[in-house]
Structure 1
Amino acid sequence: MTDARNYDALPMDWVGDYSGKKALLTPNIEAIFDPHTGARYTYKQIDERANRVATYLVDKLGISKGDRVGLISRNRMECIDLFFACGKIGAILSPLSYRLQKPELRDLMQRETLKTLFIEDVFATLVDDSVLPEQRPTVIQFGDGDNAAAYDAILATEPRDVKVPVAMNDPFLYIHTGGTTAVPKVCIISHRQMMWNAFEALLMCAGSGHSRELVLFPLFHVGGWNVFFCLFMRNSLAIPLRQFDAGQILDMVDQKVINRLGVVEAMLQMLVAHPKFEKTDFSGIELITTAAAPCSNETLQPFWDRGISTNQAYGLTEAGPSNFAFLAREPGLEHVKANSRKVGTPFFCCDYKIVSEEDHNTPLPPGKIGVLCLRSYHNFDGYLNDPERTAKILDQDGWIYSGDLAVCDEEGLVSIVGRADNMFITGGENVSPEEIENALRSHPAVAAAICAGIPDKKWGEIPVAMVVLTPGKYATEADLRTHCKELLASYKVPKTVAIADAIPLTPVGKLDRKALKAYFTNKQAA
């Protein structure tokens, strides 16, 4: 029997029924605009769709509370239908990246034990007999062509009340993420995490009360759902884009379709490089927020030149999705520019401390660089079926060890200055060097491999690698990159692979990634 005083564990009618509650409170407010179809949806219409999809999941597919519903798709309305439908019935939505290769997808599907898989038809070739696990999920395609009618039939389902009580501690999403081992991690994201992060975003909200914002981050990332859900909960307009299109975005800026923009640095660079940029009217943009990795002043300058305020935000799947944001304390762009590299202050209900790698218990004073640790009601619930890796990042006192190096100034503003672990970020994607090393070592000619990320103006960091060939075997750099393309997502494929007589090792025989970074950095400078 559930302890009625433990409200996080107590199933309630409202938890999960997010579209239903919003439809009751603000039925006629427009919440979503789909620029690809031109359709606009009020909260009431969104809930009607979610009720029909939820009924279909229960009555036609036999989905019940705790079952996993897989999803491979770009940012489409069908994704949002499934998000709210799964919430109503207590199912777990498990979005998978369409950027992954078949071996990566198969591994995730096996671990997540999907009961059904919804897949956009343009990615249908990703899911063949070599990918689907032995316990096969029901596969349902949707899209704009012949498969549009199939999804229309789902939306024609006669709705009935299939809602079940859901607790805040119940899992809502399975989100896979990169890490410091070769096997991708699956983060368990509870309803509590998503709701508390939305509460936090409302407390931290600055600027316009009613924003019109693109959902650019893919919905296989928790960041995509974070942007969408926060907009949805505060009566703002969410505009999901199926893929990043600089020209289309600049047109929407020019036509004042949007008044805010949340991006990673590479997106801003692509906007500036587009021929339409110089003639685009940015007067309707109130704020540009960058995330995933610190954004350079060089990239921000063209937007400052147009009088646009910017800020940095920070978070991670395990502790957020959002944990820090810089909120301007003084008027004017000079203040913004002076603090442009800072992620600012923690969210209202988020504890943080900066500690040394040797002592995680004693906070460091301002000015000292250390590892950032976080604690809040929006911590994740661990890695799926992986208590050992969970224990390495989440301690008994609820602290998440981020692996990010940070420093706090005398005014209480925090900056992210690097990473304590091996993982690096390229174009907003977490990349594990071990995964790339395993791919390289699987080539028959490779005896040893090492990988790291090095700075790149466009992508933040890019993967580079070095290999030693097996005596008597032969392979070119092109051969090795082609081999990696067959096993890894494109952003994980090393941009350069050096073939050497030996790979750099530390005095104790471990891979020396710092030496590898220095090798390629010096090579670039030469």
Structure 2
Amino acid sequence: MFLWQKYASSIEMQSQIAIQISHDKSLTWQAVGQRINEYAFELFQQGVEQDTGVALISKNSLELLLLYLAVIQLGGRVLLINPNTPLEKIDDLCLDNQIEFYYSPVEKKLINATALYFVERSEKTLQSAVTIECDLLRPATMTLTSGSTGKPKAVVHNLKAHLDNAKGVCTLMHFSKQNSWLLSLPMFHVSGQGIIWRWLYKAAQLHLPTEDFYFSVMQSSHVSLVPTQLQRLLSYLQQHRNNTFNTKGVLLGGMQISVELTEAARKLNIETYSGYGMTEMASTIFAKKSDDKCGVGQPLLGREFRLEGNEIWVRGAGLAMGYWQNSEIVPLTNQQGWLQTKDLGIWQNNELIVQGRLDNMFISGGENIQPEQIEKVLKQSDDVVDAFVLPIDDKEFGQRPVAMVKFKDNFSQSAVENLQDFLQNRIERFKQPVAYFPLDTEKCQQDNVKISRAFLKKELKFLLGK
């Protein structure tokens, strides 16, 4: 029996609130179970069954959530796709991943998959649920990697991996049945799905954001945010000082987390947790209660790690079954059974410090340059909101670093000069950017969550007139 079925049939739990849709609208566990059954019935009628691939192409919504669980209840493979993805690319993704059906609330006509439609049905038609036996080891979800270095790969997880990952996060952050978690990140990211499985693992409440997103953040006991969202939350709180803040824990991830930002949150009595995770591990791998150190703590319950040549290797709770390729699940671990993350890290003061991506590193005049190291120093300036470092070609040095910066005030030559002065004694000369460009965080944000380096590279080319 799937967890939502268990809760829906429990006399003790069926009348308890499972999903808070808005201030005055909610669903009990019994209602959630019924709604999932309705969707499962409709899916089954249209041909979805065990091992069928189904793509859901939508922004977060109650409908998307219930459909996601309905496909799993039928034993299907559910692939979530960003609705902003170009239609041709969606078609290719469906073909590559053996997707037979798709659903989108906005009409999309695909060649390689059949559209699903839903109509209202009476309860009499739905007396028996369409379901299979719950198998925690069956392939259930397919989550796309970012695809920044090529075609996105679909990472396949079973339910055990999602629940094992959830257990570690819930333990660290003291998330219990009495708490609520806001669905604050897109479900087509593994971090968004992680929220769902924590909710289900603890039979807690799931809150859906209202139009005033940051007010919704304040109403949930737990929330997942990327640093950009936390920065906006702090600005929101400065403007709405009379609002009560109910959040007990904010889980941060998705990029480098500055100590200055978490300290600013702490001064407002917001408790943050600094985390590090990845799609292949079903979300969070390391996390800690944020402090004055820039690390991400120790591995959570059931996770293991090792450092090989400064590359982070991981395994354990949350590890995916593999990548979906040519109708097969291809293992993603090496011969020793470890996942090589391509992330660089060091172990210092009894915690992991993530230093950046192997594939972001470039060579300038024979010296290895890790952009994230320079970015960290740039963000220490009181004048800087956000910064990214990229390489540009150079005849003498091969490549040189340049910076795209968002200042607290307008981008100007004087702001750049002040920042250059700030860097003088803080970083080696060959690592200091040779040019600065304005950073439009809204324009360069991927899926309204994190800054896309691939997009930044395109933007830099445009700015350079190439």
Do structure 1's residue 403 and structure 2's residue 348 form an aligned pair?
Answer: no
Pair 1:461–1:191, CA change in 2 (3 A): farther
Match of 2:202 in 1: 234
When normalised by structure 2's length, the TM-score is 0.74
Match of 1:416 in 2: 354
Match of 2:459 in 1: 495
Do structure 1's residue 82 and structure 2's residue 59 form an aligned pair?
Answer: no
Within-5 A mapping of 1:178-193: 178-179=146-147, 181-193=149-161
Choose which of 267, 275, 292 in structure 2 pairs with 1:338.
Answer: 292
Shift of 1:270: 2.2
Shift of 1:162: 2.2
Q: C-alpha distance in 2, partners of 1:459/1:173?
A: 34
Match of 1:56 in 2: 42
* Greater RCO, CA 8 A, separation 6+: 1
Choose which of 263, 267, 277 in structure 2 pairs with 1:315.
Answer: 277
Letter in 1 for 2:315: R
Shift of 1:187: 0.8
Within-5 A mapping of 1:225-304: 225-241=193-209, 248-252=212-216, 257-274=219-236, 277-304=239-266
Shift of 1:203: 3.4
Letter in 1 for 2:337: G
Q: Deviation string for 1:25-61 (max 9, x for gaps)?
A: 42122111112x8420111111111111111211x21
Within-5 A mapping of 1:425-504: 455=375, 461=388, 491=452, 492-493=454-455, 494-497=458-461
| 8 A contact 2:248–2:271 mirrored in 1 | yes
> RMSD in angstroms over aligned alpha carbons?
3.5
Within-5 A mapping of 1:34-53: 34-35=21-22, 38-53=24-39
Letter in 1 for 2:229: M
Q: C-alpha distance in 2, partners of 1:352/1:309?
A: 26
Shift of 1:355: 1.2
| 8 A contact 1:18–1:84 mirrored in 2 | no
| Ranges in structure 1 where 5+ consecutive residues have no aligned partner | 1-13, 141-149, 328-335, 357-369, 425-451, 468-484, 503-526
Do structure 1's residue 31 and structure 2's residue 8 form an aligned pair?
Answer: no
Task: Give the secondary structure class of the aligned counterpart of 1:231.
Answer: helix
Pair 1:389–1:423, CA change in 2 (3 A): farther
Letter in 2 for 1:271: L
Letter in 2 for 1:52: E
| 8 A contact 1:404–1:418 mirrored in 2 | yes
Choose which of 287, 309, 315 in structure 2 pairs with 1:375.
Answer: 315
Q: C-alpha distance in 1, partners of 2:30/2:138?
A: 25
Pair 1:64–1:277, CA change in 2 (3 A): same
Within-5 A mapping of 1:200-239: 200-206=168-174, 210-239=178-207
Shift of 1:172: 0.6
Q: C-alpha distance in 2, partners of 1:387/1:90?
A: 16
Letter in 1 for 2:153: K
Q: C-alpha distance in 2, partners of 1:385/1:207?
A: 36
Do structure 1's residue 194 and structure 2's residue 162 form an aligned pair?
Answer: yes
Shift of 1:461: 4.4
Q: C-alpha distance in 2, partners of 1:51/1:462?
A: 49
Pair 1:462–1:230, CA change in 2 (3 A): farther
| 8 A contact 1:373–1:402 mirrored in 2 | yes
Structure holding more strand per residue: 2
Q: Deviation string for 1:249-274 (max 9, x for gaps)?
A: 333456xx222232001112222344
Task: Give the secondary structure class of the aligned counterpart of 1:28.
Answer: coil
Q: C-alpha distance in 1, partners of 2:37/2:172?
A: 32
Pair 1:352–1:105, CA change in 2 (3 A): same
When normalised by structure 1's length, the TM-score is 0.67
Q: Deviation string for 1:406-459 (max 9, x for gaps)?
A: 12224x3212121112499xxxxxxxxxxxxxxxxxxxxxxxxxxx99948666
Q: Deviation string for 1:451-473 (max 9, x for gaps)?
A: x9994866664878779xxxxxx
Match of 1:136 in 2: 113
